[in-house]
Amino acid sequence: MKQTSSSRVIPFELDKLYNRQRDIHKVFGGQEQSGIVTPKGSPFIFLFAHESDQFGYIDGWKSEGIFSYTGEGQVGDMALVRGNKALHDHIATGHELLLFEATKTSGLYRYLGCFGCAGFEYGRGLDRNGLDRKTIVFHLVPITQVENREPDEESEGNSAGKTLSELRSTAYVAASNEPQTPSASRRSFYRRNREVKNYVLARANGICEACGEKAPFERIDGTPYLEPHNTRRVSDGGPDDPRFIGAVCPTCHRKIHHGKSGNKLNDTLQKYIDDQERDPPGFLL
């Protein structure tokens, strides 16, 4: 039985080996010959990495802590269409990127974890016919790095003096992926989360967007305490988009994650966000 969008728990263990056909396609469906697999109705996008340089595909870790993943397409220039577009847009669509790396045993892949697309760059390589062509290389960051990252000095006070409209525009600009180097992608990945959360907290204006009650207390700096919650991800870590982040009180946050009516409250929150972000700026369109 194939899993659907309601199956949000990631059913794979880090570093464990999986048979692509039996453990992935028979369970989720999707394109069996593609490197980027987008099963219909699934919350997951599966990425299969290879160390081969065939057709310009060279996948692996960069010194910047980025996993370099080459897009799909064996003939002619690569373009941001089909699987490449799905990977590029996964934050806006709410899909989890699950990365697997090929082993020496045919059909067996090692699960490397859940990743976020921090950006991409264009490269050059040979296609299937031996002709030079443009390639797309995506920069992937492990979600665990984002969840465990300590705040830095840039994350404090950068929203002071800005209007809500200015914060909103900044958040949507930060949420767009543009061609850039791996190191720049990594920096923009963290900046994106910071700008989105700054805007969402300002949008809430001290009122929980799930229950409508005032924030339970003030921070040391006098601002109301609310917590950002991502309505479309397994966890609250990873890259953010203003259309799927709510500012909620600690009680609602825990109720969403652990309460019996958590899914219903999460849906209520998403409907509220939909009303607030009904007409987003054109940066992501």
Q: Is the separation of the CB atoms in 137 and 71 below 8 Å?
A: yes
Distance CA 281, CA 47 (A): 30
Q: Is 80 exceeded by the pLDDT of residue 148?
A: no
Across the chain, what does the average pLDDT equal?
85
Distance CA 76, CA 125 (A): 10
Burial of 230 by CB count in 10 Å (0-12 exposed, 13-18 middle, 19+ buried)? buried
Q: What pLDDT is recorded for position 152?
A: 41
The dihedral built from the CA positions of residue 276, 271, 205 and 239, taken in this order, carries a sign that is: negative
Using a pLDDT cut of 70, give the percent of the chain over it: 83
Q: Is the separation of the CB atoms in 198 and 175 below 8 Å?
A: no
The 10s digit of each residue's pLDDT in 11-20 is 999 999 999 9
The dihedral built from the CA positions of residue 24, 29, 33 and 34, taken in this order, carries a sign that is: negative
- For residue 267, what pLDDT band results from cuts at 50, 70 and 90? very high
171: closest CA among 158, 186, 181? 158
Q: What pLDDT is recorded for position 245?
A: 92
The upper half-sphere exposure of residue 89, i.e. CA atoms within 13 Å in the direction of its Cβ, equals 12
DSSP assignments along 120-178, one per residue: EEEEEEE-TTS-EEEEEEEEEEEHHHHHHPPP-GGGSSTTTT--HHHHHHHHHHHTS--
235: closest CA among 105, 96, 74? 96
First to last CA, the chain: 35
The 10s digit of each residue's pLDDT in 2-49 is 443 444 678 999 999 999 999 999 999 999 989 999 999 998 999 999
Domain positions in the chain are 17-143, 154-280
- Both tokens of 14, joined, read 């880090």
User: Domain 17-143, what architecture?
Assistant: Roll (2.30)
235: closest CA among 263, 257, 262? 257
**Burial track 106-132 (b if 16+ CB lie within 10 A, e otherwise):** eeebebbbbbbbbbbbebebebeeeee
- For residue 241, what pLDDT band results from cuts at 50, 70 and 90? confident
Residues listed for the chain: 285
- Both tokens of 78, joined, read 């690569």
Distance CA 251, CA 273 (A): 19
Q: What is the CA radius of gyration of the chain?
A: 20
Mean pLDDT, residues 57-62 taken together: 82
Whether the model clears a pTM of 0.85, i.e. scores above it, the answer is no
Mean pLDDT, residues 234-254 taken together: 82
Residue bearing the bigger pLDDT, 146 or 220: 220
- DSSP annotation of 278: S
Mean pLDDT, residues 234-240 taken together: 60
Distances in whole angstroms, Cα of residue 19 to Cα of each of 1, 36, 95, 232: 17, 16, 22, 27
Q: What pLDDT is recorded for position 159?
A: 64
Task: Name the 3-class secondary structure at 245.
Answer: strand
28: closest CA among 16, 15, 52, 10? 10
